[in-house]
Amino acid sequence: MLELRNVDKQYIKHGSRIRVLQDISLAVDKGEYVAVQGPSGCGKTTLLLITGALLRPDRGRVLFNGIDLYNLGVKERGEFRASNVGFVFQQYHLIPYLTVLENVMTPDLARRRGDTLNRGLELLERLSLSHRRNHRPAELSAGEKQRAALARALITGPELLLADEITGNLDDRNAGIVLDFVKNFVNGGGTVMMVTHDEKAAAVAHRTWSLAPVFSE
């Protein structure tokens, strides 16, 4: 379903070239859960952003069901992300002035589907957050914020979930709830690429892929 072919990415900072990814090739099957590990600074988050059509690589191709994502225009890539990819990050990125339910519903509102409210309520129920649906993010615990972010990522029914250190700020109980939900998503046919330092999160993946730092000039 997903294939990266010979992907390179570098940045120029203070006159120095920082090579983040070099000649990365990776294939992920539909329904597979892949954990990505490696030391800080080795390009794990950059890899997720490139995979999710958010950051153009300097070289290489990213194919999703045979479609080359970076041959699409900006609008087409946006439509692709909205329909196919859910993102979850360690820092949650919830909108502070919206309620939990409103945050969860936000990605689906532009699609003008009549079932957005029911889908949002169902996801909150499944993640044990129904009692928090009218609360603001500042009123939530770290675990509740991450569960709300996960519900938001899945409201559109994506095929692919890209997760970046989503258990890093959580205690064991909340990490377990989040990982169980991710496993259920995979068991239902979804595909997951998760960047993680959490060995428990990596242990339940079908495969673990390790990134090494690239020498910078």
Kindly state the tokens that stand for 126.
Answer: 């499944």
* Residue 173 burial (CB count, 10 A): 9
Distance separating alpha carbons of residues 88 and 79, to the nearest angstrom: 18
Q: Is 167 exposed, middle or buried (0-12, 13-18, 19+ CB in 10 A)?
A: buried
Distance separating alpha carbons of residues 23 and 91, to the nearest angstrom: 29
What confidence score (pLDDT) does residue 208 get?
94
Specify whether the CB–CB gap between 146 and 180 falls below 8 A.
Answer: no
What confidence score (pLDDT) does residue 110 get?
66
pLDDT per residue as tens digits for the range 44-68: 999 999 999 999 999 999 999 999 9
What confidence score (pLDDT) does residue 48 get?
94
Kindly state the tokens that stand for 162.
Answer: 């890209």
Mean per-residue pLDDT pooled into runs of 10, the chain (217 residues) = 95 82 94 92 91 95 96 93 91 93 88 80 94 96 93 94 91 89 94 92 92 67
Q: Is the pTM of this model over 0.75?
A: yes
Residue extents of the structural domains in the chain: 2-210
- Report H helices in the chain: 44-51, 74-84, 100-109, 116-126, 142-154, 172-187, 199-203
Does CATH number 3.20.20.120 belong to domain 2-210? no
Specify whether the CB–CB gap between 116 and 105 falls below 8 A.
Answer: yes
DSSP 3-state of 194: strand
What confidence score (pLDDT) does residue 32 get?
96
Contacts by residues 20-29 (CB-CB < 8 Å, ≥ 24 positions apart): 20/46, 20/214, 21/46, 21/47, 21/50, 21/57, 21/211, 21/214, 22/214, 23/60, 24/60, 24/211, 26/2, 26/209, 27/2, 27/3, 28/1, 28/2, 28/3, 28/191, 28/193, 29/1, 29/191
Distance separating alpha carbons of residues 108 and 55, to the nearest angstrom: 22
What confidence score (pLDDT) does residue 213 get?
75
